[in-house]
């Protein structure tokens, strides 16, 4: 049901959400927008529209009219879907007793056999904050890091006050590779102004196989950076041959360790370290990690010239 929506850009979805007056649409992620919109679309089938659609269908509508009804109901269909097929899909949707089950477009079958406690209903809201002071760094790849943070209520109040007083709150990232960090001795420092709403930031850094940490803080009147939170140490993965010239070995029978100067008996890797799934393959058409999700339920578009079976 949400298939059509997924093809749309975030901008288009926001536009749609605005039209149907979904609350807080402007700060929603794509997945949230799709959820809200598909919910909107199914919940729109109130008794009155149900009746009116049924009467439209009784009048034996043309294929394009059926397509419009189906679209209105958020039914995903193929371009070459036949008239009776569309009609059947529409009727089946209208006949469904528990439309809310279909909200995520995932479940099928009848309603749960056992009574379900309220808390496990399929629509759930996650806490927007755990009200704890934390700044976490996660490695994305050799040149990108991701940071997210969360504030306690006191910290939130402080950050709000700072921005009201035009003292910008900054995310500072330090390159501390092979250093014992003392608060200022980094190889390099990057600074980004952060706003109150987004609680994450992706940072491009200079080197692979390097260590970074970040602080959130502000400049006081004297122009001194005052840190409020410090992150964990986060390392970018290596992306080239190590320059160490030593090989360490162990004789497994004698449990004897020895070292040798490195000799490479293999040619330098010619393939980039791409990981299996990025091998571009026309035949693959799906990412590697799980062939089943990406193919099992894929939306098919069969040419209109398809011979009739």
Residues 288-307 that bind another protein (CB under 8 A): 288-298, 300-307
Window contacting another protein (CB under 8 A); options: 18-26, 41-49, 119-127, 158-166: 119-127
The only residue of 64, 117, 164, 178 in contact with another protein, by rule CB under 8 A: 117
Cross-strand bridge partners of residue 245: none
Instruction: Tell whether residue 185 is a contact of another protein (CB under 8 A).
Output: no
Q: From the CB of 251, what's the least distance to another protein, in Å?
A: 5
- 9 scored as a contact of another protein (CB under 8 A): no
178 in the Ramachandran plot: left (φ > 0), alpha (ψ -120 to 50) or beta? left
Per CB under 8 A, the list member of 44, 78, 207, 211 interacting with another protein is: 78
Q: Does residue 68 interact with another protein by CB under 8 A? A: no
The CB-of-309 to another protein minimum distance in angstroms stands at 6
Among 21, 23, 114, 193, binds another protein (CB under 8 A): 114
Size of the site for another protein (CB under 8 A): 111
SS (H, E, C) 35-102: HHHHHHHHHCCCHHHHHHHHHHHHCCCCHHHHHHHHHHCCCCCCCCCCHHHHHHHHHHHHHCCCHHHH
CA distances (Å), origin 112, targets 102, 108, 116, 219:
13, 10, 7, 57
Torsions phi, psi for 135 (to 5 deg): -135, 115
95 binds another protein (CB under 8 A): no
Specify burial of residue 143 (Cβ count, 10 A radius: 0-12, 13-18, 19+): middle
Does residue 92 belong to the site contacting another protein (CB under 8 A)? yes
Angstrom distance (rounded) from CA 50 to CA 65: 16
Residue 51 touches another protein, criterion: CB under 8 A? no
By C-beta, is 164 or 305 nearer to another protein? Answer: 305
Cβ atoms < 10 Å from Cβ of 141: 10
| Candidate segments 29-37, 152-160, 175-183, 212-220, binder of another protein by CB under 8 A | 29-37
> Cα torsion at 58, 63, 67, 72 (round to 10°)?
-30
Instruction: Name the segment binding another protein (CB under 8 A); options: 52-60, 76-84, 166-174, 188-196.
Output: 76-84
Task: Work out whether 119 is an interface residue with another protein (CB under 8 A).
Answer: yes
Interaction of residue 200 with another protein, rule CB under 8 A: yes
Q: How far is the CB of 295 from another protein (least distance, A)?
A: 6
Q: Is 11 in the site for another protein (CB under 8 A)?
A: no
Please name every residue paired with 257 in a beta bridge, in sequence order, or none if there are none.
250
Q: Please, which of residues 129-168 interact with another protein by CB under 8 A? A: 130, 132, 134, 136, 138-142, 144, 146, 148, 150
The answer to whether 237 touches 141, Cβ cutoff 8 Å, is yes
């Amino acid at each position: 049901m949400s298939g059509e929506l997924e093809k749309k850009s975030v901008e288009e979805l926001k536009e749609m959400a605005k039209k149907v007056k979904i609350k807080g649409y402007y700060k929603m992620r794509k997945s949230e927008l799709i959820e809200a919109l598909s919910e909107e679309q199914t919940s729109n089938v109130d008794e009155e529209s149900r009746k009116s659609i049924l009467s439209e269908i009784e009048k034996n509508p043309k294929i394009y009219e059926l397509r419009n009804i189906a679209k209105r109901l958020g039914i995903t269909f193929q371009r070459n879907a036949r008239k009776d097929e569309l009609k059947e899909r529409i009727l089946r949707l209208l006949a469904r007793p528990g439309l809310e089950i279909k909200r995520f477009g995932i479940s099928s079958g009848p309603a749960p056999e056992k009574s379900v406690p309220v808390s496990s209903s399929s629509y759930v809201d996650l806490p927007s904050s755990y009200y704890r002071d934390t700044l976490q760094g996660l490695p994305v790849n050799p040149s990108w890091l991701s940071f997210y943070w969360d504030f306690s209520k006191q910290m939130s109040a402080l950050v709000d006050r700072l921005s009201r007083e035009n003292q910008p709150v900054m995310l500072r990232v330090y390159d501390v590779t092979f250093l014992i960090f003392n608060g200022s001795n980094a190889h390099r420092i990057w600074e980004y102004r952060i706003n109150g709403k987004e609680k994450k930031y992706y940072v491009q850094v200079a080197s692979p196989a390097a260590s970074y940490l970040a602080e959130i803080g502000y400049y006081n009147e004297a122009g001194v950076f005052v840190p409020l939170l410090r992150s964990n140490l986060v390392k970018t993965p290596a992306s080239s041959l190590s320059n160490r010239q030593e090989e360490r070995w162990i004789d497994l029978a004698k449990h004897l360790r020895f070292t040798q100067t490195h000799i490479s008996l293999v040619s330098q890797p010619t393939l980039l370290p791409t990981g299996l799934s990025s091998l571009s393959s026309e035949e693959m058409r799906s990412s590697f990690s799980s062939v089943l999700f990406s193919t099992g339920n894929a939306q098919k578009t069969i040419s209109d010239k398809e011979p009739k079976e």
